[in-house]
């Protein structure tokens, strides 16, 4: 009969053996992978290393926020891909959160027709794969026809199979990226300053529009109008903001799908707000809108933010379906770089590390946001 | 305990380490052992070359060449698997061994030959890159595409050629690229693009049959390139390259000598000259030098026919596309195809 | 003398009254009701009119499609075999049909509470999967062999789904156990693996498995592309499912482990007999949800070149004759996905409701 001490020593020994076994197996697996990769690369005479990043690409793609040409280097093209992914991801995070809150609130509404309609929406868009929705929407949009058959939206905006032409402020793309960053900085500043929810949103909205107008007033090309409105010239529209149809289809389909998911999160959060609080509000004579904005949403946010953060990471990852409809997101650019340069391992490594970095940043941000919200209770 | 772990680790390392083999033609050996040949298909249809018919079977010029190669090595035209691949996936798939050979309208380029570590066969087809545009634009060459959109398949040489050409002639444009020909085609038909950059023969095939009304589309006069099309293989297996080259050569020699799938048995029984006798295995020497059976070329021609038959069936007068042979005729008929000498 | 009805109002009566009060209680709510109901009815009518009343149904009538305001279901009549079976040999389609039914039956049977024992579920899924594989592959049953390259359409989608769930479930349980382990190396290993897989988009994981992994493996380990992709997909499933199981473990009080240990039970018997049954129970609704997500995500394999139902749908309208009827094909494919996902999702909701009741 072994003593307790002996048993403890035995257990310790076993745990050490298991752990070293796992370490050794991991090391062997990594060693095996590396040596096989080296062997396979030399066997097939493939070049390896990152020197290809300095080479010209020689090919073009559908969308970029900044100037691009076919003599861009690979690293610059990959950077444009990252910008596109972040851009689409950011837009989708904002739109899905916005529509998700509206639809989720409707789902939670007492009004039977409204909650039924919201339910129909959620059941349709949540239960069809996102990629199928994107392909479907893209197929419908590109059948709208060329610029000459464009649908005229009040003479200032046009929708055709090529894209959506919107009137815009007369500024260069680089300035608009700067403005976008400034707007994000204001939002983060407001969260740090612990501004209350609705006031913070209002300040953010007004000041973002304000700096846009200010920047246009200072920076727009002299002699040209303040606003730029699209007009048909030759094969395409000139002036205004041109949203390529690939970008439009991607953003709209992710928005439709993502808001159905966020609506469910919001509904769950709202329905967990204790009925007593709502009744207290009613007893104070608050209107329904005040009860919603001052009691239900602030209370619900605490249970909404963690799953919301997961959905935001999902949005970022969902941009990769852009490849199915010809939108040049980071994944598309990486896959095309692989087939044009053959540097498979290096490019996949860059892609994975980039996504890890982006998604860890979002996770850190939502954790931080969550901590902010929880602290407010004290 | 430690001893066991070390011994186990060494055993695992031994098994996981790369296995170095250096037979004369490892690929042919692998194919024979496996009993099937792995060829490249397309994700969808690339008309005339690699397409899926109503019975869900693969057909086309490139598929017939794969069948010819399968017959040469295994003696059975159907002992192959067609692995569907997008353009972007074809070289990684070859490198990783998912396919044995790529016969898929693949152009011979220096980058592929050197950096990608590929080996190309004799060219079996010539075709240039061109643009096809909607007829109602009323344009005849690429300068008319100013401000328009050009669509192209992602990861191809055409993608680079078209981008380079448009930049050279200084035409401002938008370029959209797609992962498969089906997506590209439906985008072009839906008028997402003003023009469609593609490989000449493919554009002609599409225009002839797949578009609603051929006259509604025009192939622009610009010639961006003339590409030699070859089979691509992994580097370092010279024996397999020889096999593929002589498979192609035999199809051309058969055409030159008038050997068809209909008369091959008769020709083999009573060969009109020594070259035919050697080709069809009536005289020994054709098989041994490649490590195959002496009658491999005879079986191959019986199964798929000579090069003219393959062309006519898939692209030429017996196909819905009716393409002229032009450059792709034999050297003695005004084309540029020729076979090395069979001695 | 009047008769007073003292029975409680029926459930239906209460529901009707609440409905009227909330929907038509004031002029504003009535107005909203009327607008929303009219809007929904209009959309419903347009869809019905297009999809049924004015639709053309058979392949022979395709000539009537042009200029017709309704749907042209002729394309489905003509091409449904391509959509459902992909490039599977035409004469063997019956095998593909039976195989697909085997998977659907497996899923339906697993929804019965009688089956909810780890052993029974494992046997059921392995049997269903084996039936599928034997029928599709064929050579072991003496039928003509069809290799995985020839599999396609709905059957391929179902195959990927079943294989991923079957492989991913034990992997997920393993990862969850490793993550709870008291040994730091084991815990870190699981944590790093789970967090990495969850941070990467599924399509990059699958692309890597399809294209890049072979470079890292000796030739005898490479296997078929489809199996590499399934294993990578199962890793994705396992990483998420491990978190679901972790939630289940947190719901079981630590005291139970200690109680088991005090009784002298070993780690594995405490786990197998006491803890795991409770974990499974708590994790059930989230697991069903994860299975639904997996079914939806299989559509992504079309990007890495598999001929799944989305790809075969695209091929179905990829010719000149059928190109104008892309909407009909995509509606057909979307409807198939929707029915599967909606039913599974409703089942998950039902389970959640049942367990909430049981918890009271």
Q: Per-residue pLDDT for A377 more than 60?
A: no
C118 confidence band (pLDDT: 50, 70, 90): confident
A321 and C203 within 8 Å at the Cβ level: the answer is yes
Helix (H, G, I), strand (E, B) or coil at B11: helix
Q: Per-residue pLDDT for A98 more than 90?
A: yes
Residue in chain B lying closest to A57 (CA): B160
Task: Give the rounded percent of residues in chain B with a pLDDT score beyond 70.
Answer: 91
Give the pLDDT mean for C245-250. 88
Q: Per-residue pLDDT for A234 more than 70?
A: no
Chain B residues touching A29 at Cβ < 8 A? 16
* B21 domain residue, yes or no: no
C311 confidence band (pLDDT: 50, 70, 90): confident
pLDDT of residue B11: 61
Q: Rounded distance, CA C203 to CA B309, Å?
A: 42
pLDDT of residue C4: 66
Chain C residues touching A41 at Cβ < 8 A? 215
Burial class (CB in 10 A: 0-12, 13-18, 19+), B295: middle
* A263 domain residue, yes or no: yes
B23 confidence band (pLDDT: 50, 70, 90): very low
pLDDT of residue A277: 87
Q: Per-residue pLDDT for B3 more than 70?
A: no
- How many contacts (CB atoms, under 8 Å) link A and B? 135
Residue in chain C lying closest to B56 (CA): C87
pLDDT of residue A44: 66
C36 and A114 within 8 Å at the Cβ level: the answer is yes
pLDDT of residue C44: 93
- The predicted-structure confidence for C135-149, as pLDDT tens digits, reads as follows 888 888 878 888 777
* B3 domain residue, yes or no: no
Same domain, yes or no: B214 and B244: no
Q: Find how far residue C323's CA is from the centre of its chain.
A: 29
CB neighbours (10 Å) of residue C299? Answer: 25
* B296 domain residue, yes or no: yes
Q: Per-residue pLDDT for C349 more than 80?
A: yes
Which carries the bigger pLDDT value, residue B258 or residue B22?
Answer: B258
Kindly state the DSSP code that residue C3 receives in the 8-state scheme.
P
Four-residue CA torsion sign, A195, A197, A203, A205: positive
- The predicted-structure confidence for A207-217, as pLDDT tens digits, reads as follows 988 888 888 88
Q: Rounded distance, CA B259 to CA A96, Å?
A: 67
Helix (H, G, I), strand (E, B) or coil at A95: helix
pLDDT of residue A327: 92
Mean pLDDT of chain B: 85
Four-residue CA torsion sign, A124, A125, A127, A129: positive
* B236 domain residue, yes or no: yes
Query: Chain C: nearest CA to B96, how far in angstroms?
Result: 5
Q: Per-residue pLDDT for B2 more than 70?
A: no
The full length of chain A comes to: 378
C343 confidence band (pLDDT: 50, 70, 90): very high
- The predicted-structure confidence for A263-319, as pLDDT tens digits, reads as follows 999 998 998 888 888 889 889 888 888 888 888 888 888 888 888 988 999 989 999
Q: What is the CATH number of the domain that holds B182?
A: 3.40.190.10
The listed range with the strongest mean pLDDT (A169-178, B8-17, B292-301) is B292-301
Q: Per-residue pLDDT for A92 more than 50?
A: yes
Q: Which among C81, C90, C305 has CB closest to B86?
A: C305
Give the pLDDT mean for B152-177. 88
CB neighbours (10 Å) of residue B37? Answer: 27
Q: Per-residue pLDDT for A158 more than 60?
A: yes
Q: Which stretches of chain A are DSSP H helices?
A: 4-43, 74-108, 112-126, 130-142, 173-192, 197-219, 245-271, 275-283, 288-290, 297-318, 330-341, 344-375
Q: Does A239 touch chain B (CB under 8 A)?
A: no
pLDDT of residue B258: 92
Same domain, yes or no: B93 and B219: no
B20 confidence band (pLDDT: 50, 70, 90): very low
Question: Which residues on adjacent β-strands are paired with residue A340?
Answer: none
pLDDT of residue A331: 94
Which CATH class for the C74-359 domain? mainly alpha
Which carries the bigger pLDDT value, residue B55 or residue B1?
Answer: B55
Chain C residues touching A113 at Cβ < 8 A? 23, 32-33, 36-37
pLDDT of residue A349: 92
C17 confidence band (pLDDT: 50, 70, 90): confident
Domain boundary among B193, B225, B257: B225
Least-confidence region, from A327-341, C60-74, C229-243: C60-74
B176 and A24 within 8 Å at the Cβ level: the answer is no
Domain range for A261 is 74-167+229-375
Which carries the bigger pLDDT value, residue C278 or residue B123?
Answer: B123
A220 confidence band (pLDDT: 50, 70, 90): confident
- The predicted-structure confidence for B230-246, as pLDDT tens digits, reads as follows 999 998 888 899 999 99
Domain range for B216 is 129-225
Judge whether B195 and B172 are in contact, CB under 8 Å: no
φ, ψ at A170 (rounded to 5°): -85, 75
Which carries the bigger pLDDT value, residue A223 or residue C128?
Answer: C128
* B9 domain residue, yes or no: no
- The predicted-structure confidence for B285-324, as pLDDT tens digits, reads as follows 788 888 888 899 999 999 999 999 999 999 888 887 778 8
Mean pLDDT of chain C: 85
The domain total for chain B is 2
A1 confidence band (pLDDT: 50, 70, 90): low
C33 and A111 within 8 Å at the Cβ level: the answer is yes
**How many C-alpha atoms does C288 have within 13 Å on its Cβ side?**
22
Same domain, yes or no: B269 and B187: no
φ, ψ at A328 (rounded to 5°): -85, 70
pLDDT of residue C202: 94
Task: Give the rounded percent of residues in chain A with a pLDDT score beyond 70.
Answer: 96
**How many C-alpha atoms does A369 have within 13 Å on its Cβ side?**
22
Which carries the bigger pLDDT value, residue B166 or residue B179?
Answer: B166
Pairing status of strand B129-134 against strand A241-244: unpaired
pLDDT of residue A252: 96
The listed range with the strongest mean pLDDT (A373-377, C275-279, C292-296, C349-353) is C292-296
Give the pLDDT mean for A315-332. 92
Q: Which among C22, C183, C201 has CB closest to A111?
A: C22
Give the pLDDT mean for A56-63. 86
pLDDT of residue A101: 93
CB neighbours (10 Å) of residue C195? Answer: 16
- The predicted-structure confidence for A125-155, as pLDDT tens digits, reads as follows 999 999 999 999 999 998 887 777 788 887 7
B221 confidence band (pLDDT: 50, 70, 90): confident
Helix (H, G, I), strand (E, B) or coil at C106: helix
The domain total for chain A is 1
Which carries the bigger pLDDT value, residue B18 or residue B44?
Answer: B44
Q: What is the CATH number of the domain that holds A313?
A: 1.10.3720.10
Give the pLDDT mean for C263-291. 84
* B5 domain residue, yes or no: no
Domain boundary among B196, B225, B254: B225
pLDDT of residue B246: 93
Same domain, yes or no: B140 and B200: yes
Helix (H, G, I), strand (E, B) or coil at B293: coil
C185 and A22 within 8 Å at the Cβ level: the answer is yes
C185 and A111 within 8 Å at the Cβ level: the answer is no
* A24 domain residue, yes or no: no
Same domain, yes or no: B232 and B329: yes
Query: Chain B: nearest CA to A208, how far in angstroms?
Result: 31
Same domain, yes or no: B179 and B302: no
**Angle formed at CA B170 by CA B164 and CA B171, multiple of 5 degrees:** 95
Interface residues of B toward C, Cβ cutoff 8 Å, are: 15-19, 36, 43-45, 52, 55-58, 81-86, 89, 92-93, 95-98, 179, 182-183, 185-186, 189, 209-212
Chain C residues touching B89 at Cβ < 8 A? 210-211, 304-305
* A19 domain residue, yes or no: no
Q: Per-residue pLDDT for A172 more than 80?
A: no
Helix (H, G, I), strand (E, B) or coil at B222: coil
Concatenated DSSP letters for A118-179?
HHHHHHHHHSS-HHHHHHHHHHHHHTT--GGGPEEETTTEEEETTEEEE-EES--HHHHHHH
Dmax of chain C from CA atoms? 95
Query: Chain A: nearest CA to C234, how far in angstroms?
Result: 18
Domain boundary among B166, B197, B225: B225
Q: Rounded distance, CA A130 to CA A260, Å?
A: 11
pLDDT of residue C360: 60
C303 and A313 within 8 Å at the Cβ level: the answer is no
Task: Give the rounded percent of residues in chain A with a pLDDT score beyond 90.
Answer: 30
Mean pLDDT of chain A: 86
C350 confidence band (pLDDT: 50, 70, 90): confident
Four-residue CA torsion sign, C275, C278, C281, C282: negative
Query: Chain B: nearest CA to C23, how far in angstroms?
Result: 45
Q: How far is CA B3 from CA A17, A30, B10, C267, in A?
A: 12, 22, 11, 27
Which of A29, A44, A238, A331 has the highest number of chain B CBs within 10 A, making it the mutation to test binding with B?
A44
The full length of chain C comes to: 360
Q: Per-residue pLDDT for C2 more than 90?
A: no
B22 confidence band (pLDDT: 50, 70, 90): very low
Residue in chain B lying closest to C224 (CA): B98
Q: Per-residue pLDDT for A224 more than 90?
A: no
The listed range with the strongest mean pLDDT (A190-194, A360-364, C58-62, C262-266) is A360-364
């Amino acid at each position: 009969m072994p003593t307790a001490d002996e048993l403890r020593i035995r257990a310790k020994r076993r745990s050490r053996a298991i752990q070293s076994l796992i370490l050794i197996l991991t090391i062997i697996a990594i060693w095996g992978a590396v040596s096989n990769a080296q062997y396979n690369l030399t066997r097939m005479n493939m070049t390896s290393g990152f020197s290809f990043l300095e080479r010209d690409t020689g090919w073009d793609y559908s969308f970029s926020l900044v100037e691009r040409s076919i003599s861009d280097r690979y690293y610059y093209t990959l950077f444009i891909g990252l910008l596109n992914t972040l851009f689409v991801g950011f837009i989708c995070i904002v739109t899905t959160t916005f529509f998700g809150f509206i639809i989720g609130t409707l789902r939670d509404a007492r009004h039977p027709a409204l909650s039924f309609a919201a339910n129909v929406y959620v059941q349709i868009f949540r239960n069809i794969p996102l990629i199928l929705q994107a392909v479907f929407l893209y197929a419908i949009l590109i059948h709208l026809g060329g610029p000459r058959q464009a649908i005229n939206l009040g003479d200032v905006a046009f929708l055709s199979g090529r894209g959506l032409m919107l009137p815009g402020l007369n500024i260069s793309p680089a300035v608009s990226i700067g403005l976008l960053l400034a707007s994000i900085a204001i939002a983060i500043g407001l969260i740090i300053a612990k501004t209350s929810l609705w006031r913070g949103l209002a300040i953010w909205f007004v000041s973002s529009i304000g700096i846009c107008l200010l920047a246009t007033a200072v920076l727009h090309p002299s002699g040209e109008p303040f606003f730029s409105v699209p007009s048909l010239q030759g094969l395409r529209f000139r002036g205004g903001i041109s949203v390529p149809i690939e970008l439009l289809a991607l953003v709209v389909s992710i928005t439709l799908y993502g808001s159905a998911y966020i609506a469910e999160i919001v509904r769950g959060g709202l329905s967990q707000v204790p009925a007593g609080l709502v009744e207290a509000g009613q007893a104070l004579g608050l209107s329904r809108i005040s009860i919603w904005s001052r009691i239900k949403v602030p209370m619900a946010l605490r249970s909404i933010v963690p799953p919301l953060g997961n959905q935001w990471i999902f949005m970022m990852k969902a941009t990769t379906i852009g490849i199915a409809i010809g939108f040049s997101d980071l994944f598309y650019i990486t896959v095309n770089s692989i087939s044009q340069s053959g540097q498979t391992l290096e490019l996949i490594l860059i892609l994975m590390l980039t996504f890890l970095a982006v998604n860890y940043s979002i996770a850190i941000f939502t954790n931080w946001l969550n901590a902010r919200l929880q602290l407010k209770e004290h | 305990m430690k001893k066991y772990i070390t011994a186990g680790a060494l055993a695992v390392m031994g098994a996981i380490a790369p296995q170095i083999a250096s037979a004369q033609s490892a690929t042919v050996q692998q194919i024979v052992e496996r009993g099937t040949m792995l060829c490249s298909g397309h994700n969808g249809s690339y008309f005339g070359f690699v397409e899926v018919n109503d019975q869900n079977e693969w057909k086309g010029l490139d598929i017939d060449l794969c069948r010819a190669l399968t017959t040469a090595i295994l003696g059975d035209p159907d002992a192959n698997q067609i692995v569907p691949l997008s353009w972007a996936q074809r070289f990684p798939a070859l490198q990783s061994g998912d396919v044995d050979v790529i016969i898929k309208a693949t152009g011979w380029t220096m980058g592929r030959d050197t950096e990608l570590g590929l080996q190309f066969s004799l060219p079996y087809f010539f075709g240039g890159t061109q643009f096809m545009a909607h007829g109602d634009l009323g344009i005849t060459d690429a300068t008319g595409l100013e401000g328009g959109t050009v669509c192209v398949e992602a990861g191809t040489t055409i993608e680079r050629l078209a981008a380079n050409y448009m930049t050279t002639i200084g035409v401002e444009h938008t370029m959209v690229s797609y992962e498969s020909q089906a997506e590209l085609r439906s985008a072009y038909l839906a008028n997402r693009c003003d023009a469609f950059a593609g490989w000449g023969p493919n554009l002609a095939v599409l225009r002839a049959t797949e578009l609603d009304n051929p006259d509604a589309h025009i192939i622009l006069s610009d010639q961006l390139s003339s590409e030699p099309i070859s089979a691509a293989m992994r580097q370092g297996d010279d024996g397999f390259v020889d096999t593929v080259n002589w498979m192609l050569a035999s199809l051309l020699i058969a055409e030159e000598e008038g050997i068809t799938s209909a008369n091959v048995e008769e020709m083999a029984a009573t060969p009109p000259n020594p070259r035919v006798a050697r080709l069809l295995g009536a005289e020994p020497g054709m098989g041994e030098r490649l490590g195959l059976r002496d009658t491999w070329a005879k079986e191959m021609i019986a199964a798929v026919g000579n090069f003219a038959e393959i062309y006519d069936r898939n692209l030429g007068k017996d196909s819905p596309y009716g393409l002229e042979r032009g450059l792709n005729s034999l050297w003695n008929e005004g084309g540029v195809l020729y076979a090395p000498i069979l001695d | 003398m009047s008769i007073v009805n003292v029975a409680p109002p029926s459930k239906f009566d209460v529901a009707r009254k609440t409905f009227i009060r909330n929907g038509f209680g004031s002029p504003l709510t009535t107005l909203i009701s009327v607008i929303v109901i009219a809007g929904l009815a209009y959309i419903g009518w347009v869809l019905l009119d297009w999809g049924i009343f004015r639709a053309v149904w058979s392949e022979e009538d395709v000539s009537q499609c042009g200029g017709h305001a309704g749907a042209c279901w002729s394309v489905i009549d003509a091409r449904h075999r391509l959509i459902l079976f992909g490039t599977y040999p035409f004469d063997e389609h019956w095998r593909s049909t039976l195989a697909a039914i085997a998977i659907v039956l497996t899923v339906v049977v697993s929804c019965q509470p009688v089956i909810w024992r780890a052993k029974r579920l494992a046997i059921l899924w392995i049997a269903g999967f084996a039936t599928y594989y034997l029928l599709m592959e064929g050579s072991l049953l003496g039928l003509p062999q069809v290799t995985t390259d020839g599999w396609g359409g709905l059957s391929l989608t179902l195959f990927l789904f079943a294989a991923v769930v079957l492989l991913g479930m034990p992997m997920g349980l393993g990862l969850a156990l490793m993550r709870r382990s008291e040994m730091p190396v084991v815990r870190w290993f699981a944590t790093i693996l789970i967090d990495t897989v969850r941070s990467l988009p599924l399509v990059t994981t699958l692309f890597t498995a399809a294209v890049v992994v072979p470079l890292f493996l000796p030739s005898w380990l490479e296997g078929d592309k489809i199996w590499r992709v399934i294993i990578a997909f199962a890793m994705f499933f396992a990483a998420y499912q491990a978190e679901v199981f972790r939630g289940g473990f947190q719901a079981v009080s630590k005291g139970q482990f200690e109680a088991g240990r005090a009784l002298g039970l070993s780690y594995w018997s405490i786990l197998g007999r006491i803890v795991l049954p409770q974990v499974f129970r708590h994790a059930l609704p989230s697991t069903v949800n994860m299975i639904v997500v997996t079914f939806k995500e299989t559509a992504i394999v079309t990007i890495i070149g598999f001929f799944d139902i989305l790809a075969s749908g695209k091929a179905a309208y990829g010719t000149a004759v059928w190109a104008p009827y892309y909407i009909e094909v995509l509606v057909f494919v979307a409807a198939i996905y929707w029915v599967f996902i909606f039913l599974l999702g409703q089942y998950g909701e039902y389970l959640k409701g049942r367990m909430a009741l049981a918890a009271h």
